[in-house]
Structure 1
Amino acid sequence: MGLSYLGIFHTVIGIIAIIAAFVSLFKSARIDLGKLSGKIYFYFTLFASLTALGLSSVKGVNPGHILALLIIILILTAYYLYAKKPGNNRSRFFENFFLSFSFFLSLLPTVNETFTRVPVGHPLASGPTDPLIGKTLLILFLLFILGSVLQFRRQRKINRLARL
């Protein structure tokens, strides 16, 4: 596989972040920063994104660095909304969307790296342009859209009930 120590650390904390996101989505239908799984997602995604800035097979800034910075901005903004704008209000819509979008964006390099490295010696995909990667990302994108719509509807219902 040929991973550096930073690459191994990045991969381990990234996997933990993804598992925490799935746990939070399963339990709360959103990544809930008020719960342990949401906090794990936040911190481990932050560290995974920061360590991604130190990983590169080419010199200079590349799309992976831009993606990592975008994820950092999304989760920090979501955390700000969670901490500074408590209660069931419009901020929850943005918080939910930013965390879900950051999770979706985290899956882009995850799918590519996993499919081009596993199983060792006979990877599932030949590279980023492999149709299997494209189809998988399309399915994940459609799930992200569906999940975002369901989260929006759920939050709207929660906000209405809170006003009563």
Structure 2
Amino acid sequence: MFGISPLGWVHTLGSLPAIPVAAYMFATHGRIVPRSTAGTVYLVSMLIGAVTVFLVAHEPVSYVIGVATLAILLAGYGARPVLGTRPVARYVETICLSLSAFLLMLPTVTEVLRRVPDGHPLVTDLHSPLLLGAQGSLLVILVLGLTAQIIYLARHRRTAAG
């Protein structure tokens, strides 16, 4: 089904929980909260997806996204332990984990559009206007979301200090 190998299903189903968990955290907390149950589910799902991409990828860019995702996840989840409670830690954590969600959604949207409906996908060319529009929309959401998160963190920090 959808031309996905058994290992591809492990990759897909292993990383799939990260999508609703990230959406839940963005909706309820405005960011991905690493030290929470949802944050742990997100990390495990993202690690499954990022590691298995090296076994299922067909496009060279997939390897770049896999390496970037692993590096950004480690930076995001490691910010607090390494930087402590300094304000910069929360900024690094928030920015990195939002970038990781973007790196999850970029190939997800691309693969869904290239595989659905089964046998007659919506997109057959990587330069399709529909695909480029979807990817561009994700980039706009990332920029607007990061801007809102940074403004919120700055205001919250001033409020807590004052």
Which residue of structure 2 aligns with residue 107 of structure 1? Answer: 105
CA–CA distance in structure 2, aligned partners of residues 99 and 56 of structure 1? 23
CA–CA distance in structure 2, aligned partners of residues 104 and 56 of structure 1? 18
CA offsets 1:30-78 (integer angstroms, 9 cap, x no match): 01112222221122101110000111337xxx21011100010001011
Q: Percent identity?
A: 27
TM-fit CA distance, 1:163: 2.2
Which residue of structure 2 aligns with residue 149 of structure 1? Answer: 147
Letter of the 1:66 counterpart: V
CA offsets 1:4-44 (integer angstroms, 9 cap, x no match): 22100110122111111111101100011122222211221
Gaps of 5+ in 2: none
CA–CA distance in structure 1, aligned partners of residues 40 and 86 of structure 2? 19
Which residue of structure 2 aligns with residue 19 of structure 1? Answer: 20
CA offsets 1:114-134 (integer angstroms, 9 cap, x no match): 001011122111132111010
Letter of the 2:68 counterpart: L
Gaps of 5+ in 1: none
CA–CA distance in structure 1, aligned partners of residues 143 and 36 of structure 2? 24
Report if aligned partners of 1:78, 1:99 keep a CA contact under 8 Å in 2.
yes
- Classify the secondary structure of the residue corresponding to 1:122: coil
- How many pairs were matched up? 161
Q: Do structure 1's residue 75 and structure 2's residue 73 form an aligned pair?
A: yes
Q: Do structure 1's residue 3 and structure 2's residue 17 form an aligned pair?
A: no
TM-fit CA distance, 1:90: 1.4
TM-fit CA distance, 1:108: 1.5
Letter of the 2:20 counterpart: I
Q: Give the CA RMSD over aligned residues.
A: 1.5
Which residue of structure 1 aligns with residue 138 of structure 2? Answer: 140
Which residue of structure 2 aligns with residue 131 of structure 1? Answer: 129
Letter of the 1:117 counterpart: R
Extract structure 1 runs of 4+ deviating beyond 6 A: none
